[in-house]
Every structure is written in C-alpha cells, then in structure tokens.
A = this chain, B = another copy of it.
Amino acid sequence: MSELLKNGETKKEKLKEMLKKLHWGEDEDKVKEEFKDVLQSISPLEIPLIEQELVKEGISSREIARMCDIHVEIFRESVKGAESEVKELPAGHPLRTLYEENIEIMKDAEILNLYASSLLNLEGKNRSNVLRTLESIVRGLKAIGYTHYNREEMIHFPYLERRGPTAVPAVLWRKHDEIRSEINRLLREILKENYEEIGKISQDLASRLIDMVFRENNILYPTLKVLLGEGEFKAIRMLDDEIGYYKIRPGDEWSSNAEPIMPYQIQEEITVEQLMNLPQYLIEEMKSKMGEVKSEPDKTGLIREGDVELEDGYMLPEEISAVFAAMPVDVTFIDKDDRVRFFSGGKRIFTRTTSILGRPVQLCHPPKSVHIVNKILQAFKNGERNRAEFWINMQGRKILIQYFAIHNKEGEYLGALEFTQDVADIKKIEGEKRLLEWR
C-alpha cells in the first residue's frame, strides 16, 4: 500500500498540473493527449486514493469529477488483450452491453469516493448539502445490484455453470453480495450522519466496485466470449431486456438470426481449444476450487415425457395439480364461456366438488347475487375491469376473495380466476424474518 502511495505522489503532481491547465481553459483534447501517459499508468484501483489526496489539498470536486471523466475515457481507449476484444464487439452484443455498463460503474465509483472524501473537509450546511448528494449517489448505486449484477447471476452464470466451472460464478456472486451489503451499510451510516464511517465505507465500496469491473472485464467477459456460441448470445440478448440495464441502453449494431439457445439445452464440455484461450485466472480458480464445488459439466435435460409446456417452464400434470393443492389459497377457474373448468385441491376454505366442473358459474352462486356476478364478468369481458375484490369475516378468520380477468399473450379473454385466502395471519406479520434466521 505504501508503495502504491509513493508511486502515487508523482502521478498526483502530474494530475494537479493537468487540472490546472484545464482550469485555465486549455483545450481538453490537447490536455488529454499531453497527459495520456500518466493517465494510462494509473490503475483503476489507485484512483480513489489519488482523488482523496487531491481533495485534501483543496482541489474542487467539480474539477476532480472532470478528471474522472478524462481518466475513464483514456482507460477505455487503452485497454488491452482480453478486455479489448470485448470492447470491440458491436454495440448491442450482450458482452459489449456489460462492458458499457462497467464504464458507468467505474465513473460512479470514482464520484462516490470523491464526494465521500470532500465530506471530511467540510462543515455545517455545506457538509449537509454534500451528504444529501452523496445519499442520492449511493441510492443510485443500488441499481447496479438489480440490473448489471442480477443479469450476470440469472442469465450469464447458468451458461457457464452448465459447462462445469460453477466455482467462478459463485465467487463473483459472493462479491456482488458484499457490494450490495456495503451499499446498504453505507446508507445506514449516512442516515446516522456518522461521517467517519461514511468516509471509510465509501472508499472501501469504491474499491470493491472498481475491483469487480476489473474482474468482469478481464475474466468473466473474455471467458463467456470464448465459450458461448451465437445462439446463446442471441438468447441472452432477449432475456437481458427482461431485467434491465444500468444507466445505458444497448445499441442495435449487433443482431443475430441464430436460434436462441437456453442454458438447459446445452450439453457441451469445454474443448481443449477453448481451454487454451481462457483467461489464466479462470483456469487457476477452476483448479483451486475443483474439490469444493463440482466442476463436471451438467448435461441433465429439462423436458421429461408427459411434461406440459407452459409459458415459463415444464411440469407434469401431477406436479401442476400438486402445486395448486399446496398453495395457501383456493383457486377456481372459469373459462371464457363462464363454465367452471378447474379448482385447486388440498385444504380449502370453501369446499368444491367435481360435480361443479362444466357448470355455468351463474348456477354456482346464490340466486340473489347472480346479477352481480354477471356484472363483474361483463366488465371483465369488455375490458372495463381486470379485478374485483371482497373480504368477509368468518369464524375469526378474514377471508379475502379476489377475482381476476384472465387473458392470453394476445390479450384475448380466456376466463376468470377466483383467488381466495385467509389473511388473518398475514395481517399479524410485523418486522422482518429473513432466510438466514431460519432454524
């Protein structure tokens, strides 16, 4: 660390010189060209430390932020080897998208560090103002967790896992979660206005974010590029949209006519040729974790004989029935002609017997409320309403009865669902009970 700092002294002086020139209005491109060497020599991991030093010496946040932008730009231009291959993929390719997000993440990490450092030199109202800005920056960082990281965990990792190296995604996911939890911890300290802790955690968080960018750009993305085929990237491109992106929109340069391939369709092992092209780090990681997590390729097929193909998955009729029966709700479905087609089994609030299958729903209700049933169904069919809700007290229980209009993907009316549950216990729920507290 002291080596890094000493080394940083010279770089810091150079950067100060650069900022002065920018301050005096010199042309940005000319300045960039002049200081390219020093900017390139700065590793992303050094940036938070250098920024902090500059803040201590009184350089304004505004000017340092400008430096961040130039640094990121140069860093982006200068990447070499594995990373540069990813960088050069056409806009819209899933790996290029991840890469573009990482540029945003790196910028935000630097800005975070910057604001946190400047906080320590301020007092009173100024400090409060910067704290509010910092808070909004940190709240914004949460989105990294549910877009960028979430896409990797849910979409990209399964493609890697099928081929064997499950340890690599596990390590990354663990680190993602550490970052998520640091963000939450930082938010708590911000609310407590605990300035010392805020400074420490911010710096730590910025380093972690930048470290993750580095790992992804140099290990994960090159690995995926070596292993995955066009059909897989095609599928990823489609699925990515369902989760969303961090501060960018994917471009449309890249497109593919390949048949999308889902992870469960993959039966391939890593070839010798692929292995030779993989980043060295990945191979080391695979070797070291071999004993801990199974690294055999997963060739289990998804679709079994008798499976019903549903919108998002495959289940046997027996499984479908058992799932409905296990749900803590009563479900009854009437089709587009108002006839009862299905009701869930298991312990029910309102008993149903198979004698009502095929029966028009109007004949399943007390005659005096049939006109209301018809009104609701009319509103469902003509699209005026999509739900109707009722609740009643019954022997100390609170029964919530919800009706939902059912449509297919094309928007055609398929029928209506009755969804009934006893919510008495739910109403009593307070506080939190988390997975890790399970005994």
Contact = CB atoms under 8 A, between A and B. Distances in A.
A302, A313, A429 pick with most chain B CB within 10 angstroms: A313
A363 B173 CA distance: 10
Interface stretch (A64-72, A103-111, A337-345): A337-345
Nearest to A373: B435
A367 interface: yes
What copy number does this chain have within its complex?
A: 2
B355 A318 contact: no
A354 interface: yes
A39 interface: no
Given A310-B320, A312-B352, A435 B345 contact: no
B429 A423 contact: yes
A378 to B, nearest CB: 12
A157 interface: yes
Interface stretch (A52-60, A269-277, A411-419): A411-419
A342 B322 contact: no
Interface stretch (A1-9, A122-130, A194-202, A396-404): A396-404
Interface of A: prevailing SS: mixed
Interface stretch (A19-27, A76-84, A327-335): A327-335
Interface in A274-329: 298, 300-302, 308-315, 317-329
Given A404-B327, A419-B328, A355 B155 contact: yes
Nearest to A438: B372
A220 to B, nearest CB: 16
A350 B161 CA distance: 22
B344 A319 contact: no
Given A173-B367, A319-B335, A322-B406, 16 more contacts: A154-B352, A154-B355, A242-B351, A264-B359, A300-B339, A310-B321, A312-B321, A312-B343, A312-B354, A312-B357, A313-B333, A314-B341, A318-B414, A368-B436, A390-B438, A391-B429
8 contacts: A154-B364, A239-B354, A262-B355, A318-B408, A319-B335, A327-B329, A369-B436, A372-B435
